[in-house]
Amino acid sequence: MPLSLSDPITKLATVSPAFASNLGRGLGLYTIQNLLWHVPSRYEDFSEITPIKNLQAGSTVTVTGKILSVKGTRTWKKRMHILEALLSDGSDNVKLLWFNQPWLENRLREGKYILASGKYSASKNGNYIGVTFWEGIDGELSSKENKGLLPIYPETEGVTSRWLRYIIGQALKKIGPISETIPEEILKKENLLDINTAIQIIHAPQTKTDAQKAIKRLSFEELFLIECATLQSKLRMANHKAPPIYMGVDLIRDFLSRLPWELTEAQRKSAFQVLKDMEGVSPMNRLIMGEVGSGKTLVAAMAMLNAAKQGYQSVIMAPTEILAQQHFKELARLLVPFHIRVALFTGSTSKVTPKRLAASAITISKPKLFKEIKAGEIDILVGTHALISKRALGQSKTKSSLLPNEPLKFRKLGLAVVDEQHRFGVEQRANLNKIQQEFNAGSYTINPHFLTMTATPIPRSLALTIFGDLDLSAMNELPSSRKPVKTEIVAIENISLVYETVQQEITKGRQAFIVYPLVKKSEKLAAKAAEIEYEKIAKDIFPELKVGLLHGQLKAQEKEAVMSDFKKGKINILVATTVIEVGIDIPNATIMIIEGAERFGLAQLHQLRGRIGRGEHESICFLVVEQGGKTARLKAFEKSSSGPELAEQDLEIRGPGDILGVKQSGLSEITARALKDINLIERSREAAKEFLREDPNIKKYPELGQRIARVSANLHLS
């Protein structure tokens, strides 16, 4: 009996329970479909194996043979580990070298037969192949034998590409016909392979052209499903009911007249788009993408003020307590003249502004805060993940006198705002819709308008797919008061020059950040840790200065105290982790030092750099790198201040999962790669639009409808 896609991988005779556990835990492979859709990350071309006697210096070659000897050494000067093996194929011998991969000593042994590829180079110590890929084989392989394209898969501990090729081959022999997902007219129009042919070819292509056709077919399908899901979500959102909150033109003019600066054109345009959206009877679903410091919070403040003056409450959710605290203080300050009550709700504290003195704040018990929210006495609630905790949603079974017994419930919630939404994950974003409110009209529920904001630059491809259900506003224009930040890459051995600059700036009355990749020292990662370096900075390098420490593992009260002291100028240098990446506004800070900069993504570096240059003084960001860390990627960052430009580069280098937490949504490896192909995205989007125009409820293709529903569930679309 043939296998079906839904069968567990243990249906394959060669997959033991232990091996299946590794496949599931490490690669997310549980079913035959998971296995067959686990596509190669690349192909090694072994169509031409070169006899060792015919090797020519400077060429990239593939050789095969028997290992005669193996030894590992470490260079004295650079402390680099070099693994050397002598390989023989009967025609001659050649030296193979692996750099900084000491663990391979346990896998390479005398008498083992391998295939290896890499560049054949000449040196004063003899010729060698710098190995870029190798794999063990069962025995001698004739140099005349055509090995062809060898698929290399994403691997995990205990699971090699060789094993994956074997079990995927077994599955391909036993699988029955796979049902087609894409309608035939779209297959013809886009010149795509049918699904059965594509699956067979992608795991065993004869040529790179064949492989590319198979990849295009599977990529198009994944994108087509996502586009259908997001477009359907947009249609569903349009059918929901929301309270029309009309723009109070005089109110907005009054608010703007009290600001000590003029709005940028981007702020004006985005604010108008948000306020006009909120006048609709369907929920606004808008994403503001803005450069660091472009004034997104001010736009949100205008929308929340407008809602409050028409009797509607607003909630704004931030990813960290530091950012939530800052939003709370900033909103309270901005809205003082309008007598708007602002409250703060986090896992550790609850605060509220009194009815008449909006800029001040008092601590309030959480049960009392919940009562005031339910009664409609709170206009704006600022919070963290605590807003969508089990306790807040009424899903917790535990009871406490310090916590409310009832779930968080609003009187009339008109606007929900999520700041730095990519840090929550799509499921948490969806949980905001579960916040309850008393206000209902007739037989249907009133939904709040929804606004998300991010300073993390989003590549156009992600905007068209993962966030395809959102309307977009771009705020890439900085206020005129913001000065460009100079960026400079510095080798670690020249760090003393950076410290001299820090000393000079602090003498002028300025402040500095020093950011490290880790909180504590790690045995697995050879990266500096904030706690250890803080001691050195405070005691050995700047003993006469006040140095503070901030990281995510500190208690909320400790974080707040450190940030308060830094903002007041009581701390000269703040040693921190990426907890300062968002929500930190210190106009007096003019120096940002990022140690181990090569370990950060471009979008993250862009966020960190945005913490300075927020005042009237010139600022500089130092990217401190280890030996060999001055990469082309960092050089590009050094020269560019454009968020969108850096986002595109980051997508190409790291992929969407690392940029926006796409991995949390359960998207496949195929999708992650397809999201880099803007042309394919646009074609799949147009195909989805045309398809849904003809059959919006997908009645003709029930199986396709089920696939799209599963994608919607993964993305937590409304």
Structural domain boundaries in the chain: 1-47+149-176, 57-147, 486-640
How far apart are alpha carbons 663 and 678 in whole angstroms? 19
Q: Is the pLDDT of residue 30 over 50?
A: yes
The tokens of 614 are what?
């927020």
For residue 49, the SS3 value is coil
At residue 169, the pLDDT reads 92
Q: Is the pLDDT of residue 51 over 60?
A: yes
**pLDDT band (50, 70, 90) for residue 216:** very high
At residue 175, the pLDDT reads 92
Provide the mean pLDDT of the chain: 84
CB atoms within 10 A of CB 520: 10
pLDDT, tens digit (0-9, with 9 covering 90-100), for 339-385: 999 999 988 888 888 876 656 788 888 889 999 999 999 999 999 88
Element (H, E) at 147: none
At residue 139, the pLDDT reads 60
Q: Is the pLDDT of residue 429 over 60?
A: no
How far apart are alpha carbons 149 and 417 in whole angstroms? 50
Phi first, then psi: give them for residue 53, nearest 5 degrees. Answer: -65, -20
The tokens of 54 are what?
């015919």
Name the range with the highest mean pLDDT among 274-278, 326-330, 632-636, 701-705: 274-278
pLDDT, tens digit (0-9, with 9 covering 90-100), for 639-648: 887 776 777 7
How far apart are alpha carbons 304 and 316 in whole angstroms? 9
65-69, 515-519, 554-558, 626-630: least confidently modelled range: 626-630
Crossing angle for the helix pair 208-239 and 678-694, to the nearest 10 degrees: 50
Q: Which residue has the tokens 């600001």?
A: 259
Which one-letter DSSP state was computed for residue 378?
Answer: -
CA atoms 252, 258, 262, 266: torsion sign: negative
**Spatial CA neighbour of 577 closest among 598, 552, 554:** 552
16-20, 289-293, 331-335, 443-447: least confidently modelled range: 443-447
**pLDDT band (50, 70, 90) for residue 182:** very high
The tokens of 206 are what?
């004869």
Give the CATH fold of the 486-640 domain: Rossmann fold (3.40.50)
| CA distance to 388, 422, 452, 605, 649, per residue, from 664 (Å) | 17, 10, 18, 22, 22
pLDDT above 90 as % of the chain? 37
Q: Is the pLDDT of residue 556 over 90?
A: no
Q: Is the pLDDT of residue 210 over 90?
A: yes
At residue 519, the pLDDT reads 85
> What is the largest distance, in Å, between two alpha-carbon atoms of the chain?
91
Which one-letter DSSP state was computed for residue 50?
Answer: P
**Spatial CA neighbour of 335 closest among 312, 357, 362:** 357
* Interior/surface letters 247-261, b for 16+ CB within 10 angstroms, e for the rest: bbeebbeebbeeeee
At residue 306, the pLDDT reads 97
At residue 28, the pLDDT reads 87
pLDDT above 70 as % of the chain? 86
Q: Is the pLDDT of residue 142 over 50?
A: no
DSSP 204-233: S-SSHHHHHHHHHHHHHHHHHHHHHHHHHH
Which one-letter DSSP state was computed for residue 617?
Answer: S
CATH 3.90.1170.50 fits 57-147, yes or no: no
* Interior/surface letters 572-602, b for 16+ CB within 10 angstroms, e for the rest: bbbbbbbbbbbbbebebbbbbbbbbbbbbbb
The tokens of 707 are what?
């696939």
Are 508 and 515 contacting, i.e. CB atoms less than 8 angstroms apart? no
At residue 640, the pLDDT reads 80
At residue 395, the pLDDT reads 60
**Spatial CA neighbour of 134 closest among 147, 122, 154, 118:** 118
CB atoms within 10 A of CB 714: 18
Q: Is the pLDDT of residue 72 over 50?
A: yes
**pLDDT band (50, 70, 90) for residue 388:** confident
Q: Is the pLDDT of residue 260 over 60?
A: yes
